[in-house]
Each structure stands twice: as structure tokens, then as C-alpha cells.
Amino acid sequence: MRAHIVLLPGDGIGPEVVAEGVKVLKAVAQKRGMELHLQEELLGACAIERTGNPLPPATLEAISHCDAVLMGAVGDPKYDDPKLPVRPEQGLLGLRKAMGVFANLRPVAVMPALLHASTLKPEVLQGTDLVVVRELTGGIYFGQPKERGVQDGQRWAVDTMRYWEHEVRRVAHVAFRLARQRRKKLTSVDKANVLECSRMWREVVNEVAQEYPDVTLEHMLVDACAMALIRTPTNFDVVLTENMFGDILTDEAAMLAGSIGMLPSASLGEGRRGLYEPIHGSAPTIAGKDIANPLGTILSAAMLLRHSLDMEAEARAVEEAVSAVLAAGYRTADIAEPNCTTVGTRQMGDLVVQHLKL
């Protein structure tokens, strides 16, 4: 077996965490006799610096004929000035669109060893195991017009939230299928009391639900969901929502898991080719210090094995190795606890490889 994986380390802590994800993939490949073809390309601020383009043609070319993409993070404070025409994040949005990965799966499971790492009460967190399915290539992130102007001396700006029913339908199917494999409960999150897009979203989700009579569907307004997520997180199984709501709710949900550094994601489209990335950002203030948490990326690599390479047993082995390392008391700085051993990025990667049972 042979797998062609494009690596997009990106900016800030991206290269450090991707290196650990690669370490784990190489260990799996070696144990399974799989030939790994790794190809590194540019994305984000580093791509702007080298080519002037946050998503250069060479990157687009590479992703069009690989099995999967493993990404780190994009973003650099150098590009914070809102007047700049080119920004690293445009590269990431363009990448998602180019790959057609409309369904972003963000699992949030509270690992028993990390019950006390969160700022939330352990009794609230205990048993939390949910997945957010975030629509990723539509809505206000991509809608046109998206522009600024000046009229009568007043600056104005507009972003457009637009959804086509086929965009809602296809991501709803992903969420229903996932719910079917889990506890068969789906919460669709919208703002149907205010937004036209949300009213259509709800209509289409209700139509798709007809095909999944075994799945219990509930609708929840996004503000109420923000509250319920930290009040009773164990009530959720699969959460389906549009692009921007999903962006916001998954940062919130990350706090259930103790640190945003723990959370992986898989972005999937029609085929097997997927984009895998931790949900955290480039964290420029801690870049290059060997203190970033690589577990979100390592768990993303596990999702890559599962969804793009059809290696479920190996994916589980990686996830179990992560749990074992945490259970053994090793922590990165973001989840440090008294009576635990704080380790750096590279050592955490080594520990996961050592605990791999394959």
C-alpha cells in the first residue's frame, strides 16, 4: 500500500505540530509496511512571503492528486492590518473551496485524564462525547458581495450569507449518517428566529430527516446552543451547523476538552480525499519554543488514517496511544497539572509513538 500525503505546515506553531503528526504517520506506515509519499507545500503567510500568494499554484497542483492533506495552521500578526489586500487566511479558505471539502468534522471528547484540565466542573464534563459537523464552503465566509465602500463620507461594509439548498442537503446527509453510527441524536443549530438562511436550513434539514427515521432530530437556536454546550455538554451527540456558527461553537466546545490544542478536525467532500488540521491557530507568541500541544494534529492524523486511507484500526491505535500518554501523566504546557510531567512538543510526539500498539 502507498499513500501520497501533502503537508501544509503553514505558519507559527504549524510546522512544529505537523512534524509530530508526521512522526506518528511514519510510525504507523513502518509498522504496516505502507509506503508514505510526503510532499510539503506552502500555504498562508509563509506562502505570501515566498510567492506573494497565500495559496500558490504549486500547492493547488499538489492537492489535486494526493490521498490526503495534513495542515498545521495559518496566520501571522504581520497581516493583522485590515487594509492589507492579501491575508494568510485567504489561502486556507481557498484551499477548502478548491478541495470541495464541505463537511468539517470536529469531534470533542473529554478524555478522562483531562477532566481536571478544563476550567469547567468535572461533573459537568464527565461523559462528553460530541461531534460538530460544520458546513465549510458556504455561508457568510464565501457569499458575494463581500466588499467595502464609502458613501456621503460614511464607510460601509457588506458580507453576504447565502446558502443553496444543495449545500445544506449534502452536509446534512453527512451529519445524519454520522449520527446513525453513534448515539442517533442530531442537533441542528441555526438562528431561524432572525435569519432567512436559517429558516431554509431548518426546512431542508427536516426534509433530509425523512430518510433517517431512526435518528432523533432537534433544532436549537445558536445562542441557546452556546449556553447548552457548557451547561449540559453530555446532551449532545452530533451537532450540525453552518460555517460561521460552527467556527464559533467549536472554539467554545474546545474548552470542554481542556485546551484548543487537543482538538482535531477532518474536512471531507464527495470522495475520500480530505483535509486534516487541528482547530487551533498559528499561536505566533509560542512558535519555535517547543511548547505547543501537538495532540490536535496527531489526532487529525488519526482521522486521516480513518477517513482517507480506510485504516480504522490504525486510527484507533493512535487515539488510544494519545489517551495512554495522558493517562501516564504527561502533559504539554497548555494542559499542565500538578503531579503531572510537563513535556515539550517533540517529546509529546515521541511519547505517542512509544505508546502505539500496532
Known catalytic residues are: 141, 191, 223, 247, 251
Q: How far is the CB of 125 from ligand IPM (least distance, A)?
A: 22
Binding mask 51-80 for ligand IPM (x = CB under 6 A): ------------------------x-----
| 262 near ligand IPM, rule: CB under 6 A | no
Closest to ligand IPM by CB, 3 vs 283, is 283
Give dist(CA 282, CA 298) in Å, integer: 16
| 247 near ligand IPM, rule: CB under 6 A | yes
Q: Which three cell numbers stand for residue 128?
A: 462528553
The binder of 175, among Mg ion, ligand IPM, none, by C-beta within 5 to 8 A per type, is none
Closest to Mg ion by CB, 242 vs 247, is 247
Per residue in 27-45, is it b (16+ CB within 10 Å) or e — as a string? bbbeeeebeeeebebbbbb
Verify cis geometry, omega within 30 degrees of 0, for the bond prior to 213: no
Among 66, 103, 130, 279, binds ligand IPM (CB under 6 A): 279
Q: How far is the CB of 209 from ligand IPM (least distance, A)?
A: 27
The binder of 92, among Mg ion, ligand IPM, none, by C-beta within 5 to 8 A per type, is ligand IPM
Give dist(CA 96, CA 114) in Å, integer: 31
| 89 near ligand IPM, rule: CB under 6 A | yes
Q: Residues in contact with ligand IPM, total (CB under 6 A)?
A: 5
Binding mask 206-245 for ligand IPM (x = CB under 6 A): ----------------------------------------
Pairing of strands 103-109, 266-268: antiparallel
For 347, the enclosing helix (H) or strand (E) is helix 345-354
The binder of 304, among Mg ion, ligand IPM, none, by C-beta within 5 to 8 A per type, is none
Which is it for the CA torsion 291, 249, 80, 75, positive or negative?
A: positive
Q: Which of 62, 81, 88, 84 is nearest to 273 (CA)?
A: 62
Where along the sequence are the contacts to Mg ion (CB under 5 A)? 247
Q: Which three cell numbers stand for residue 280?
A: 487551533
Question: Which distant-in-sequence residues (6+ apart) come within 8 Å of 141 by Cβ?
Answer: 93, 243, 244
Collapsing DSSP to helix, strand or coil, 199 comes out as: helix
Q: How far is the CB of 249 from ligand IPM (least distance, A)?
A: 10
Among 18, 48, 68, 92, binds ligand IPM (CB under 6 A): 92
The binder of 72, among ligand IPM, Mg ion, none, by C-beta within 5 to 8 A per type, is none
Question: Which distant-in-sequence residues (6+ apart) come within 8 Å of 84 by Cβ?
Answer: none
DSSP code for 45: H
**Length of the chain in terms of residues written:** 358
Instruction: Point out which residues bind ligand IPM (CB under 6 A).
Output: 75, 89, 92, 247, 279
